[in-house]
Amino acid sequence: MDPVQVNEPSWRKPAGMILILLLLAVWCVAVVMILEALDLPLWASAFAFIAGGVAWLWLLPMKRLLRWMESGKWRQ
């Protein structure tokens, strides 16, 4: 009989979570500083915050970082 294979915990998940928190903090500070400097009306600021959030989730490193945490690969 084969011994039961035990999955070793991956170091990528805790490292990825720490990296996500650091990148999120940097992203938030950058977006707030830029929008305060632009002094846009409230509706334009709201739109910019939403666009910045979508850009963070899908266009910038978050999607690739989550993929790396699961599979260990940056690209499919």
Question: Within 13 Å, how many C-alpha atoms sit on residue 61's CB side?
Answer: 13
What are the residue ranges spanned by the domains of the chain? 42-70
Please give the model's pTM, rounded to 2 decimal places: 0.69
pLDDT tens across 7-57, in order? 776 888 899 999 989 988 888 888 889 989 999 999 999 998 888 888 777
pLDDT at 75 over 80: no
Between CA 30 and CA 1 the distance in angstroms is 57
